[in-house]
Copies of this chain bind each other. A is one copy, B any other.
Amino acid sequence: MARPQARATRPAPARARRYIYWFGGGRADGRADMKELLGGKGANLAEMARLGLPVPPGFTISTEVCTHYYAHKSSYPPGLKEQVPTALARVEKTVGRRFGDPEKPLLVSVRSGARASMPGMMDTILNLGLNDQTVEGLARETGNPRFAFDCYRRFVQMYGDVVLGLKPETKTERDPFEIVLEEKKRARRVELDTELDADALRELVGEFKGLIRTRKGVRFPEDPEEQLWGAIGAVFGSWMNERAIVYRRLNAIPDTWGTAVNVQAMVFGNMGADSGTGVAFTRDPATGENIFYGEFLMNAQGEDVVAGVRTPQPIAALERENPKVYAQLAKIRRTLERHYRDVMDIEFTIQQGTLYMLQCRVGKRTALAAVRIALDMVRERLIARDEALRRVEPESLEQLLRPTFDAKAKDAVVAAGRLLARGLAAGPGAAAGRIAFHADEAEARAARGESVILVRIETSPEDLRGMAASRGILTARGGMTSHAALVGRQMGKVCVVGCEALLVDYEAGSLRVSGRDVVLREGDEVAIDGSTGEVFQGTIPTAPSEVVQVLIERTRDPATAPVYQMFAQLMKWADQVRRLGIRANADQPDQCADAVAFGAEGVGLCRTEHMFFGEGKLGPMREMILAETPEERRAALSKLLPFQRVDFEGIFQVMQGRPVTIRTIDPPLHEFLPHEEPAQRELAAQMGIPFERVRSRVEALHEFNPMLGFRGCRLGIVYPEITEMQARAIFEAAARVRKAGTPVEPEVMIPLVGHVKELMLQAAIVRRVADAVMKQEGVRFRYLVGTMIEVPRGALTAGEIAPVADFFSFGTNDLTQTTLGVSRDDAARFLVPYVEQFNIYPRDPFQSIDQEGVGALMKLAVEKARRVRADFKLGICGEHGGEPASVRFCHAIGLDYVSCSPYRVPVARLAAAQAALGRD
C-alpha cells in the first residue's frame, strides 16, 4: 500500500507457486539453463524436447520442493498435491494411456536429478504404475506376458528396496530379493534371469510381496497414485542418504541445492530383439578424439548398461544392427554438439525400433580429453579461446603430469609373462600397488601408507571411500560408462574396467586369471595401465608422463609429443589472459629447474631449513643448537655459511634473474636434534660433549605447542647471529652469481612476524649484511626484504608492518592454523567429521582457503598494505597457492602472485587464467 508503483509492475501472484515443469511433444516449460530449479536431468530433458528430439513426455518437480521438504519435516509445499495429478493427466493425454488403467496402463519412471551430476548416488524407480490389474493389461497389450511380469517383478523389487527400505542389513548379507530370485532359478533349474518364464516371474512377484510383508510389515501398495507419492518421497529422501552426502563432500556440492524429481512416461528397451538401450558420448571421453563413442545392449533396460552387469557392444555395431536408428542418433549427436557447443553424454532407448532420448548432459572427460576437446572445438569454431580455457578443470591438469610405466621395465614384465589380462582403459596413468578386495581394506592399507589397487568385480557407491584411498581401480565387469569408470575417472584415478578374464572370489580373498595358473591374494602386488587397459602381476617402476619427459627429463622431442603440444598450447593461452604471477615453492636447484620448466616465473618460497639436513650440514647445525655462548654459536654458524652459500648459488644460477624469495630459518630448533636416548648418546659421542648436555638441551627445547613456540623470526631475534649468517650466505651467493654475469633478484623473507618491531630488528640485520657484502664484493644488485603474514596479528597490523616491508607473502598454512585455532597435525580427529559429517566447513580449510575466516584476514591485510603503497607487492606461498578455488580467491583480492609446488604450477596457471576470465 505504501508502494503502489512497485505493486503496479509486479505480476499478479499465482494462486499457488509453480512446482511442476512440463516437457514432451516438442514443448517444454523448462530450459537447459534452469538447472538450479530443475536439476541437470530435468533441464536437459526440457531442452531436448524444445530441440524437437524424441523425448518421452513427462514433468519435473522442482528442487524448491526438495528444499521445502527438508525445511519442513519431510512435508510438501501447498499446491503440489494438486499440481502432480494435473501434470500426470497431460502425460496420459500425450501418450494416450491412463495411469492405473487395467487395459492400457501408463507406466512412468521416477528419477532424481540434481543441479550437478551425481551418478548412481540417488534412487530411481522404473515401471511405476504396475499392479496386479495393470500387469495383465500390459501383458495383453504387448502380447508378451513374460515381458509384463519381468517389468512387474523388477518394479516390486526396486520399490521394495528404494521406497520400503528392504535392503541387506549388513555389508556381508546378500540382497534378500536376489536370494529369492536365485532360489527360483534353482527350483526351475535355469541359470539366467532371462530363462525364467512368465509363470515363474508371476510367482516371484508374489514371493517378493510376501518378503516385503514379512520383513517390513507393510503391504506392497497396489494403488498407482500411492506408488507415485511413495516414489517421489523416496527420491527426495535419497538426497540425504549417506553415499550421496559423501559424494557431495568429495565434489564440493552444497547440501542446500536439493534434487528435482523427474516423472516420465516409460519406454522399454527390453521389449524384444528390436528394442535396446545405450549410452554414448559425442566424443571419446578418455582421449578426446572426435569420434562417436558409446555402448548399447539390445533387449535391456537402461540401468543394465550403467551397472556394468553385462558388457555392451560398441556404438558402431548399432549401424549394422539398425542403420535407421543409428543414422538418427548420429544426427542427434551433431545437433547436440552444435547446440550445446560441448561434448554430450546421452542415454537412449530403442523401443520396438523407435528411438527415444532419455537424458543428455555435458560429458565428463579425462584431463587429456578435456584439453584435446577444448583445443579441437576452438579449431572447429564451436567455442572461443577463453571458453576453451574455462572448459578445462585446472585440478585435472595434474593428471597430464602423472607417471606412466617405465617402458623397458614394462617390456621386461611382458616378456616374463606377467601381463595377466587386458581390460578397458578407463582412467589414464600408471599405478602399481597391493591388492585390496574391499573398500575398507583399501582404506586401511592406504592409511598405513601402502599404495593400493582396489580390485572389485564391479564397484558401487558403497565403495566410494575405498576408491578415493586407492592408487588405482581394477574391475572385472562393466564398460567405459560403468560406475567404476565414471567415478574413477572423475577422481582422477588410474582405472581399468571390464577385465573379464579376472575371476574375483571375495570369500576366498583371491584373484584368478581365466586360463592361467595364477592366484593373487589380498596384499599381493599388481600394476595397471589406465591408458592401455593392461593388468600386470607384480610391480613395475613408473616413468614420467609425456609432458614431464619433454619438460623435465628432456628425453623426448616436443615435436613428437602430441600430448605435450596440447598442454603447451593451453598453457600459452592461459598465460596470455592471466593477471596473477605464478611462482613455485622450491628449496633446491633441481626443484627450481622443474618449476621453471613448468612455467614458474620465480621462487615464492625457498625454505632454508631443508638445507640443514643435507650432507655435512646437520653436524654444524647441531653444534649451533648445542652452543652455550654466542661465540660457540657463531663458530658453528661459520661452518654452515659455505654450505648455505653453495645452495643459494645453485638456485640463483638456475633462476637466471627471476625473483627468488628465501625464507630465513623457521622451524623450532628441536626438530634438528634426536629425541631418543641412543641417538642422543651417539650425537654426544660424535661431538665429544657430555651426553647430559645433549639431553638437557633437548629437554630445554621441548615445547608443549611447538607450532606456537620458539620458531620463525623469534629464533633470529633471540639469536641474531643466525639471521646474520643466512643473510651473508644469500648475499655472498648472489654477489658471486651476479659477478659471473647472471642477473639475480633475491628477496629475503622473515617468517612469523606478528609485530612490526620484529621485522624492523630482522630487516636491519639483513640490510646491514647486504650492504656489507655488496661493498666487500664490489657489486650492486636490487634485493627486497619482506615478511610472511602467517599469524593473525601480522594481518591485523599490516598497516604498521607494510611501511618497513618490501613485500608480504601470505603463509596460509600457519595462518589457517592460528586463525582457526587448529593444529593441522592434530586436526584429523575432528576436522574430518567437521567437513564430512557436520558440514561445518564446506571443504578442508587446509586444502582450500577458508575464505570467510582466513580470507577475511587476508583481505584486511591487503587493504591495509595497499593503503600504505598502492602497488605494495603481495603473494601467497601456502599450499593453497596451487588449489584452483584459492587461486581464484587470490586473484579476486588482488594479490600479485601465487606460489605452489612445481607440479602444481600448470594447475595454478590455468586457474589464474580462469580467474582473469571471471570464472568463480
Contacts and interface: CB of A to CB of B under 8 A. Distances in A.
B796 A819 contact: yes
A795 to B, nearest CB: 9
Contacts of A790: 821
A442 to B, nearest CB: 22
A869 to B, nearest CB: 21
A703 B823 contact: yes
Contacts of A761: 838, 840
Contacts of A800: 852
A833 interface: yes
Contacts of A852: 796-797, 800
Contacts of A850: 793
Given A792-B818, A793-B853, A821-B814, A826 B704 contact: yes
Interface in A22-76: none
A10 interface: no
A830 B762 CA distance: 14
Interface string A171-196: 00000000000000000000000000
A709 B820 CA distance: 11
B710 A826 contact: yes
A755 B842 CA distance: 11
A754 B706 contact: no
B704 A825 contact: yes
B817 A792 contact: no
A712 B834 CA distance: 14
A708 interface: yes
Interface string A630-652: 00000000000000000000000
A718 interface: yes
Contact of A823 (B704, B814, B841): B704
A853 B705 contact: no
Contact of A826 (B708, B814, B821, B823): B708
Contacts of A707: 704-705, 708, 821, 823
- Please report whether the interface of chain A is mostly helix, strand, loop or mixed according to DSSP: helix
A826 B755 contact: no
B758 A840 contact: yes
Contact of A853 (B709, B718, B796): B796
A637 B624 CA distance: 51
A792 B823 contact: no
A241 interface: no
Interface string A828-864: 0110011000111100000000101110110000000
A708 B796 contact: no
Given A703-B826, A857-B796, A834 B708 contact: no
Contact of A791 (B821, B838, B839, B840): B821
Contacts of A840: 717, 755, 757-758, 761
A489 interface: no
Nearest to A841: B755
Contacts of A703: 823, 825-826
A552 B388 CA distance: 78
A821 B818 contact: yes
B820 A710 contact: no
A830 to B, nearest CB: 4
A569 B281 CA distance: 88
A652 B248 CA distance: 46
Interface string A752-780: 10110110010000000000000000000
A825 B792 contact: no
Contact of A830 (B717, B817, B822): B717
Contact of A752 (B752, B821, B827, B854): B821
A493 interface: no
Nearest to A854: B793
A829 B670 CA distance: 13
Contacts of A757: 838-840
Contacts of A791: 819-821
B821 A857 contact: no
Contact of A709 (B717, B758, B826): B826
A714 interface: yes
B793 A830 contact: no
Nearest to A717: B838
B817 A793 contact: no
A742 to B, nearest CB: 37
Nearest to A755: B840
B755 A822 contact: no
A754 B705 CA distance: 19
A827 B710 CA distance: 7
Contacts of A817: 708
Contacts of A754: 819-822, 853
A708 B754 CA distance: 18
A853 B850 CA distance: 21
Nearest to A757: B840
Contacts of A718: 829-830, 833
Contact of A793 (B708, B819, B833): B819
A792 B857 contact: yes
Interface string A873-884: 000000000000
Contact of A796 (B755, B823, B829, B856): B856
Given A830-B714, A830-B717, A838-B761, A821 B755 contact: no
Contacts of A827: 709
Interface string A591-634: 00000000000000000000000000000000000000000000
Nearest to A712: B821
Contact of A822 (B708, B814, B821, B834): B708
A850 B792 CA distance: 13
Contact of A821 (B708, B825, B833, B841): B708
A758 B830 CA distance: 12
Interface string A779-812: 0000000000011110011001000000000000
A838 to B, nearest CB: 6
A833 B761 CA distance: 13
Interface in A100-150: none
Nearest to A709: B826
B708 A797 contact: no
A688 to B, nearest CB: 26
Interface string A727-763: 0000000000000000000000000101101100100
Interface string A695-722: 0000000011111111010100110000
B841 A820 contact: no
A708 B819 contact: no
B793 A820 contact: yes
Contacts of A841: 755
A800 B853 CA distance: 11
A705 B792 contact: no
A821 B797 CA distance: 14
Interface of A: 703-710, 712, 714, 717-718, 752, 754-755, 757-758, 761, 790-793, 796-797, 800, 814, 817-823, 825-827, 829-830, 833-834, 838-841, 850, 852-854, 856-857
Given A705-B823, A754-B822, A792-B820, 9 more contacts: A705-B825, A706-B826, A708-B826, A709-B827, A710-B826, A718-B829, A790-B821, A796-B819, A818-B821
Q: What 10 A-B pairs have minimum CB-CB distances, sorted nearest first?
A: A791-B821, A708-B823, A705-B823, A793-B853, A709-B826, A792-B792, A714-B830, A703-B826, A705-B707, A704-B825
7 contacts: A710-B826, A718-B829, A757-B840, A791-B821, A792-B819, A796-B852, A796-B857
